[in-house]
Amino acid sequence: MDTKIVMVDENKLDKDIMQKAGEVIRSGGLVVFPTETVYGLGANALDTKAVKKIFEAKGRPQDNPLIVHIADVEEIEALVSEVPELAKKFMERFWPGPMTIILPKSSVIPDVTSASLPCVGIRMPSNIIARELIRAAKVPIAAPSANISGRPSPTDVQRCVEDLSGKVDYIIGGKICDIGLESTVIDCTTQPTCVLRPGGITLEMLKEVDENTYIDPAVMIKPEKDFKPKAPGMKYRHYAPKAPVKIVQGDLKKTIEKINKIVQNYIDENKVVGIMATDETMEYYSKGVIISLGSRENMISVSHSLFETLRKFDDEKVDVIISEAFEEKGVGVAVMNRLKKSAGFDIINV
């Protein structure tokens, strides 16, 4: 398949391009587009055949439901059977933005989109290109992250091109995604509200709307073999670069000492080691490929660069990646959730 790749400036939207891309969606094609979280791989959420193409292009397991993206709040009415008062409060506070709400689905949502679940995830992104695409398509857009299943989600259009060129009709490039981690997924089908996937909207922020909101305990622990999480996507090995990832967790000074020891051992075996460091710790490493995720004082900068850094280590063809850990509070919860999954829960405590 020929993939058309176009760059769009969100401050000067090219209406023609957006119109054409919208028509591609409406006629059953696949379009990659930027959002404020990660790039999405979109299709008409109401078209079974089109949605099936998403699963094929990504190599995504059929039992993993997709998030349905809307441009305006009113569009949710047709897609769900009920919007509880509490869900309305979350929507008012955090939409448009990086939050997905799970609600009981209406009959217009095909089984393939919700992976036959009785509920559906709805999100209204804040990214202008994403919103204009949905408006131009005149249909809600089902979109997972625009990566091959299992790989780190793309935050830069070049990574979408690497993974999906030749498999989709259209790739719209915008700027690098602000948040860099996928949306916070909250389940509003039951009370209290449960966070199924942590993201840029943190637990602390959600609690300002409903103080009983809690994070599904399954989010931060290694899944048992036959474990069935509430968000089916959370059971798969995810966000994985080609090289194995190991996390060193504990006191920062001890972490640096331990990482330096591990790095030396790998170098003695003639291996190329990547170190995922931070601005505060960079200077304490001298061997291997050292990349900083940003400052520990600014966890959004860390979340912004996590997936891209994992992919950079692949470009450098490292044999193994050693990462520092982060405190599990605020956005750090989402960062550690993705990092642990990318490492397959290979954690060394110091």
Which residues are at the interface with Mg ion (CB under 5 A)? 144-145
Judged by CB under 6 A, the residue of 8, 35, 173, 263 near ligand TXA is 35
Name residues contacting ligand TXA, limited to 166-195 (CB under 6 A): 182-183, 185
Backbone angles phi, psi at 57, to 5 degrees: -60, -35
Q: Which stretch binds ligand TXA (CB under 6 A): 5-13, 78-86, 216-224, 227-235?
A: 227-235
Looking at the DSSP assignment, which residues form a beta bridge with residue 41? 32
| 67 vs 256, beta carbon nearer ligand TXA | 67
* In the complex, least distance from residue 68 CB atom to ligand TXA, rounded to whole angstroms: 8
Size of the site for ligand TXA (CB under 6 A): 30
Pull the structure tokens for residue 272.
């190329």
Q: With binding defined as CB under 6 A, does residue 233 bind ligand TXA?
A: yes
Listed ranges 73-81, 118-126, 263-271, 325-333: which one lies at the site for ligand TXA (CB under 6 A) = 118-126
DSSP state of 74: G
As measured in angstroms, the least distance from the Cβ of 350 to ligand TXA is 31
| Local structure of 56: helix, strand or coil | helix
Considering beta carbons, is residue 149 or 278 the nearer one to Mg ion?
149
Q: Examine residue 155 and tell whether it contacts ligand TXA (CB under 6 A).
A: no
Q: CA 174, CA 156: separation in Å to the nearest integer?
A: 8
Residue 160 Cβ, how far from Mg ion at the closest point, in Å?
A: 12
If binding is defined by CB under 6 A, does position 231 make contact with ligand TXA?
Answer: yes
Q: Which two tokens stand for residue 23?
A: 């028509």
Q: Which stretch binds ligand TXA (CB under 6 A): 81-89, 120-128, 303-311, 333-341?
A: 120-128
Residue 337 binding target from ligand TXA, Mg ion, none, CB below 5 to 8 Å by type: none
Greatest Cα pair distance in the chain: 61
Cis peptide before 65 (omega within 30 of 0): no
Decide if residue 263 touches ligand TXA (CB under 6 A): no
Task: Establish how many alpha carbons lie within 13 A of residue 322's alpha carbon, considering only the half-sphere containing its beta carbon.
Answer: 26
H/E stretch holding 196 reads strand 194-197
Find the radius of gyration of the CA atoms of the chain: 20
Sheet with 289-292: strands ordered across: 289-292, 273-277, 320-324, 245-249, 347-349
d(C-alpha 215, C-alpha 256), whole Å = 30
Q: Which is nearer to ligand TXA, 177 or 322 (CB)?
A: 177
**Judged by CB, which is closer to ligand TXA: 25, or 66?**
66
Q: Which residue is nearest to Mg ion (CB)?
A: 145
Least distance between Mg ion and beta carbon 153 (Å)? 5
Looking at beta carbons, which residue is closest to ligand TXA? 233
Tokens of residue 290, six digits: 């050292």
Helices 332-342 and 299-315 pack at an angle, to 10 degrees, of 20
C-beta of residue 151 within 8 angstroms of C-beta of residue 8:
no
124: amino acid identity, one letter:
M
Cα 197 to its chain centre, rounded Å, is 9
Closest approach of ligand TXA to the CB of residue 156, in Å: 14
Q: Which of residues 45-64 bind ligand TXA (CB under 6 A)?
A: 64
Q: What residues line the site for ligand TXA (CB under 6 A)?
A: 35, 37-38, 40, 64-67, 98, 100, 102, 114, 117, 119-121, 123, 143-145, 182-183, 185, 196-197, 230-234
